[in-house]
Amino acid sequence: MNVVRVAIAGFGGVGRATANLLLSRRDRYRRVYGTDIRLVAVCGSRSGLADADGLETGRLDALEPGLSGPEFIEASGADILIEAGPSDFRTGGPGLAYIRSSLSSGRDTIVISKGALVHSGPSLRAMARSSGALLKLSGAAAAALPTLDLIEHSLKGCEVLEVEGILNATTNYLLDAMTTQNLGFDEALGRAQAGGFAEADPRNDTEGWDTASKLILIANFGLDAGLTMDDLVVDGIQSITEQQIEAWRKEQRVPKLVGSLIRTGGAIRAAVGVRTYPLSDPLAQVSGKNKAIRITTDAMGETIAIGSGTEPLATAAAALKDLEHILTARAARATAGS
């Protein structure tokens, strides 16, 4: 049986969920792809584990100090890297070195953190093209909500004219709570933090940066746009007042934090900010921690997807969807080469 070795760099909530889901699906990979998937290495910032025969679930709690870094992953002999470290779009974060090292040596790479892709997306794509490695990023580009998959598969051949996305679950929850439960911003945020789905420092979400990051990934990887954060106007929800909410309620309009892309005169303009929708608009119905995307194309009109899932499982599943696409592509490559 064909053996494919997988390593995971970044072993927090998402990295661990990905490892556990991957190990629980090994029978599926054997059955559907005729492939023995082995998890050969995992690492956090300072510790890790490696075993060329494959790690099992019971061993993943005892990481060994000193086993970390791109060289550690390189030495593990992995065929595929899953990167799930912290996200920092200003520097690229620690993921950047792992992804560069992986792509430059021709290793298929699944990226879950957004930072490196926002910071250096075009150069990472070029690196993948030149080494022949596949670069996948469903986990980074809104995870359980399909975004790039819709553009690359479902709408293939169409020209995308416009994208509107409710891409951040935390801000959607906050706006929903402010609108439907009459909570102020601080009270809604306190509830989200107590529920564990808003960060202690929520500004990356509430000021719109997380939405902007996902929008850049959709634009650059889905539409070949070449945008940087400097090209975007980014507004968040932190300054929304109870008076504004009340006025929107009277007008029967629902506020959403939306990342938007519009194609005008050959260029793509991008922005993040609050838009309001009438109750009849499907985007007005996207409640709680759900996310949504509306893509308008020249030939297929409007396509809308609404999705969510329990984290971190949903993000792990998005990354492993990428893994299955890679297994399919590898099988096609092997058939073409034989």
Cβ pair 80, 326 in contact under 8 A: yes
When asked if residue 89 is in the footprint of ligand NAP (CB under 6 A), the reply is no
Question: Using the rule CB under 6 A, which residue among 34, 66, 77, 86 binds ligand NAP?
Answer: 86
Binding range to ligand NAP, per CB under 6 A, among 107-115, 183-191, 265-273, 326-334: 107-115
Contacts of 292 (CB under 8 A, 6+ apart): 145, 165, 166, 282, 283, 286, 304, 305, 306, 307
Q: Helices 185-194 and 169-180: crossing angle, nearest 10°?
A: 130
When asked if residue 68 is in the footprint of ligand NAP (CB under 6 A), the reply is yes
When asked if residue 165 is in the footprint of ligand NAP (CB under 6 A), the reply is no
14 assigned to a ligand binding site: yes
Question: Using the rule CB under 6 A, which residue among 39, 40, 43, 160 binds ligand NAP?
Answer: 43
Smaller CB separation from ligand NAP, 6 or 14: 14
Smaller CB separation from ligand NAP, 45 or 193: 45
When asked if residue 296 is in the footprint of ligand NAP (CB under 6 A), the reply is no
CA distance 18 to 222: 24
Cα 12 off chain centre by: 16
Catalytic residue among 214, 256, 289, 321: 214
What does residue 202 show for φ and ψ, rounded to 5 degrees? -90, 5
Contacts of 88 (CB under 8 A, 6+ apart): 115, 119
Tell me how many residues contact ligand NAP (CB under 6 A): 25
User: Among this protein's residues, is 256 annotated catalytic?
Assistant: no
CA distance 331 to 133: 14
For residue 71, the minimal CB distance to ligand NAP (Å) is 11
For residue 313, the minimal CB distance to ligand NAP (Å) is 9
Contacts of 68 (CB under 8 A, 6+ apart): 43, 44, 45, 46, 47, 48
> What are the CA-CA distances from residue 128 to residues 18, 103, 109, 185, 224 (Å)?
23, 5, 9, 43, 15
Residue of closest CB approach to ligand NAP = 12
CB atoms within 10 A of CB 91: 10
Smaller CB separation from ligand NAP, 62 or 279: 62
For residue 164, the minimal CB distance to ligand NAP (Å) is 20
Q: Which residues are catalytic?
A: 214
User: Which positions lie near ligand NAP, rule CB under 6 A?
Assistant: 9-15, 43-46, 68, 84-87, 94, 112-114, 139, 143, 311-312, 315
Binding-site annotation: residue ranges for NADP(+)? 10-15
Binding-site annotation: residue ranges for NADPH? 114
